[in-house]
Every structure is written in C-alpha cells, then in structure tokens.
Amino acid sequence: MKKIINAFKSNKKRDKVIKSYMLLLEQWGVPVEEKTVFGEYGSTYINVAGDKANPPLLLFHGVGDNSALMWIFNAKQLSKYFRIYAIDALGGAGRSVSNINYATGFDTLKWLKSILDELKIDKAYAAGVSYGSLLVQMLLCYDPERIIKGVCMAGGSASAQFSQKSSVLEKMKIFLPEALFPSKSNCIKLVRKLSGINVEAFINNKILFEHWCLLLKYFNNMSMMKHKVEPIRQEDFIINKNNCLYIIGDMDKLAYSDESIRALKEPDLNYIIIKNAGHPVNHEYPDKVNSLIVDFLLS
C-alpha cells in the first residue's frame, strides 16, 4: 500500500522552511494574497499579487524550490502589469500539500487545468523557470484556448522532435557532490557552479541564500518525481515565435548547449540568449528579464 509522499524530511524541518519562506514573501515588496486550491491531488498553494483588473499571469517555479524563492526579484515589477498567480507545485518545496492520489497516480496536465478551473481563469499568460518552463509549454500545447502567450526561462524546447539526448541523471550530476553534503561552503560552491557572473545577487541576499540552503538540506527530492512530463509530440507542438519566448543564459550548465540551441533555432522559435547568465537567470538579471516578460506578453 502506497503512502503519502512527504515533501520534507520531517515536519520540524518543514516548519523551518516555511518560516523562512514567509520572510522571503516580505521581500517581494508588494502585498500578497494567500490562496489555496483544493483538488484531486491535494491542496495547491498560490501567492497572488497585483490589481484584479490586470490580466492573469501564471508563474511556475523549478524542481526543489518554491514560488517565494523563485519570484523574489520579479513579483513587484510583474504585478504592476499582471495579476500574478505564483503557484507552489504539488510535491515541491513550498506550501502545497499532496495527498495519496498524488502518490498513486498524478496527472500533471490534469492538475494544471484544474487550477485554472478553480481560479475561474478563462484566459491567462504563463511564465516558468527551469522545470516550470516545461509546464508553460504543456499548457500552450494542450490548453491553447486559455493560454495566450508564454515565457520559458532556463529551459529549452519540449518538442519530441528535438528531444535532447542528455538524460536527467546526467544533468543531476552537476549538483554533485555539493548537494549531497549541503554545508554552507558547499551551498556557495553549488550556486556558483549553477550561476553566471552575477551570482553575488543570490549569495548576498542573506534570507534568500539561507532559504535555498535549507531546501538543499530538508527537501525530499523524490517528492516531485511524480511530475512526469514526456516530450510533446511533433503533431501537438504548436509553439511558435508569436506565442512563446525562451530566455536562456549562456553560462547555464543545465539549459544551454549546442543541442538545446539547435532545438530552438531550427524550428525558428523565439529565443534570447543572455550573456554571462546562468541557470537562475531571473535572479541574476531581474530588470532585464522583467522587461522581456512584460514586453513580449503584452506586445
């Protein structure tokens, strides 16, 4: 009999993470409304900001982090133009809580659509970082009536036609050995390995950096393994230059390679390479990324 998958290694450790999470939200610099959507797979927690009259913008974080961390340098600016919905993924290192259905038969697309249904959102924009960029592409291809445009950061094309040969395990090796022994010094080494030249923007924010270290120590990495996203079949891949923008740093060891750029260039997709940026591109160059998001989505 399968059990509920705990996102954290203990309740006490989860409490420490959530306490730090709330401190991050205070740094957003904009009033935040808490919203919880209850569904088949558990309760999905969402941080909402911006005027209700603004168009909706769904925001998706990556594996092993959460919305409070991911959008700390973006929420204030983006909420001037959008009603942002920063979603904590089920199974992720945030405030969402999964149930037994998540452990036994999670359907990522069904979960995404149910969020839009519960929020009563008919039309929305979407943006995501790393794994979050895959969720954006799923919505663009499988729920195109509701997703107007998307922005994918630190993530490449999800088209099966250009499915990359490099495996998840190969990419995960980048995190080793530091992630296995997340001392403060190893956390610094790892974030430097993942970032570009503006890594100090991440390290010098004490609350942000300490929160990230807590996630490395306390998050149960197996928890998000239920998010199985297969490459999108060529006949279903309807992403084009007009409905999606890809933003990748040229120092991103996870997303940037000759192979990944070919997958964007050959089908003539819309992409921008940010020089000297790494995987946390929206943390390293927030002003530039915020402007790119606003300009593309509202053009």
Mean pLDDT by 10 residues, the chain (299 residues): 87 97 98 97 98 98 96 98 98 97 95 97 98 97 97 95 64 82 93 95 94 96 88 95 98 94 95 98 97 98
Supply the pLDDT for residue 50: 98
Supply the pLDDT for residue 163: 65
Single-letter amino acid, residue 108: T
**In this structure, how many other beta carbons lie within 10 angstroms of the beta carbon of residue 76?**
18
216 φ, ψ to 5°? -60, -35
Radius of gyration for the alpha carbons in the chain, expressed in angstroms and rounded: 18
Supply the pLDDT for residue 1: 56
**Angle between helical axes of 11-26 and 206-218 (0-180°, round to 10):** 160
Supply the pLDDT for residue 278: 97
248 φ, ψ to 5°? -135, 140
pTM: 0.96
Supply the pLDDT for residue 52: 97
> How many angstroms from the chain centroid is the CA of residue 115?
16
Q: Nearest-CA neighbor of 219 among 7, 30, 40, 2?
A: 7
Q: Angle at Cα 22 formed by Cα 119 and Cα 151, nearest 5°?
A: 50
Domain 11-297: give its CATH code: 3.40.50.1820
